Each structure stands twice: as C-alpha cells, then as structure tokens.
Amino acid sequence: MAEIVLHHVPESRSQRVLWLLHELGVDFEVKAWPFDKTLRSEAFLALNPAGRVPALEMDGRSYWETGAIIELLCERFGRLGRAPGEAERADWLIWVHFSETISQHAAALTQSHVMLREDWMRSPTVMKLEAARVGKCFDAVEAGLRGDWLLSEFSAADVAVGQAVLMGRRFHRIGDRPKMAAWMARLEARDAFKAADDGAGLYGQDFYEVPDV
C-alpha cells in the first residue's frame, strides 16, 4: 500500500485534497467510497469519527478536516503553502479556510437539491438564501483577485478556493465577475486539475436553478 491514501467521494470536498496531491506530485492511492451510509461504517469511522470525506492516511495515522489536511500536506512537502513568518501567511490561511465557508453553503444546497427527494422536505426560502450567500462569497473572491492567483504566486489557496467554487457554481453562476472567470479558466487548464477531475459523483446536473419564491 502507498504511504498516502486519500479516502474520497468524487465531486465532494475530498476532490480538493485529490487536486492538491496531484499539484504536489507525490505518490498516493485513492480509496473511493460511495456517498451513503458506508461513511458511517466502523471501517470508515476509524478513519474519520465524524463520518465525512476527506480522510487521509499518512505517517501511520488518519487525518481529517480538509483545511487541516491542506496545511499538513503543504508543510510536509514544503510546497504551495506559506509558512509562519512568510509575508503572505495570513492571507494564505484566510483563503484556505474561506473555502470551507463556500463549501458549507454548497453542502446545504446539495442536501436540498440532490439529497432531499420530496418537495415538502426542502425550504425554497432557505435554498434561495443559501444560493445568494454563495454569490456573496464569489464577490469576495472577485474582490480578492489582484493578479493571476489569490496570492502573488499559485498556491494551495487557489486549489482550496477553486474547488469550493466548482461546488458553489452549481448553485450560483460566476456571471459578471471577470477576474474570477479568468482565474477559474487558468485553474481548469492545469494538468493537476484535469487529473483530479474524476467524473460523476454527487451531482447529476451542471446547474441547479434557484426555486422561484
């Protein structure tokens, strides 16, 4: 078995770690899990007691929480992070963890649009609000982009926020945010992005319209 094993559900937050591992150019294996009760099995809970992906086996233990895994991998491989004391450290941390803010809205919308099958189970008002909040997050990305990347050079912050935007743009279009649209095109042109594009997973549609309320 490889020294690093990523426990992964396609198109979920674990794609963020998959993409980063490809960017880092390290050897790893992927163990794919279905997005169902299997994540509550004893075998999976031993990897992440919260029953969520990603989980990453490395150095004889399992790590969980995407932001923590991103920090650990960048420290371990000495690339794509910003170490304490470096000028862009604070901004790097902010963007890496801001990806979770976007993901929380995308996760709520995924639950409403994809997981809850009956109309009575979902709240159109909440769905509309959550989609609008994805848009507010996109505004922050548009405002934060001053050059080609979120920081002065490409970093794991671009991977983190870029993958969160992939999830978020299923519910709110990038629209008239030209810097963000060009940045996403740059990200999607990267070999590591293409290598982490693992096909169908959580979603059956490219875009889910906001309910008319």
- Write out the residues near ligand GSH by the rule CB under 6 A: 12-13, 39, 51-54, 65-66, 100, 107
CB nearer to ligand GSH: pick between 111 and 186: 111
C-beta of 18: minimal distance to ligand GSH in Å?
A: 12
Cis bond before residue 54 (omega within 30° of 0): yes
CA distance 201 to 9: 7
CB nearer to ligand GSH: pick between 52 and 113: 52
C-beta of 53: minimal distance to ligand GSH in Å?
A: 4
Q: Tell me the β-bridge partners of 30.
A: 6
C-beta of 15: minimal distance to ligand GSH in Å?
A: 9
C-beta of 148: minimal distance to ligand GSH in Å?
A: 26
CB nearer to ligand GSH: pick between 97 and 179: 97
CB nearer to ligand GSH: pick between 161 and 177: 161
C-beta of 89: minimal distance to ligand GSH in Å?
A: 21
C-beta of 54: minimal distance to ligand GSH in Å?
A: 6
CB nearer to ligand GSH: pick between 114 and 210: 114
SS3 string of the chain? CCCCEEEECCCCCHHHHHHHHHHHCCCCEEEECCCCHHHHCHHHHCCCCCCCCCEEEECCEEEECHHHHHHHHHHHHCCCCCCCCCCCHHHHHHHHHHHHHHHHHHHHHHHHHHHCCCHHHCCHHHHHHHHHHHHHHHHHHHHHCCCCCCCCCCCHHHHHHHHHHHHHCCCCCCCCCHHHHHHHHHHHCCHHHHHCCCCCCCCCCCCCCCCCC
CB nearer to ligand GSH: pick between 12 and 155: 12
Q: Of 142, 153, 123, whose CA–CA distance to 183 is shortest?
A: 142
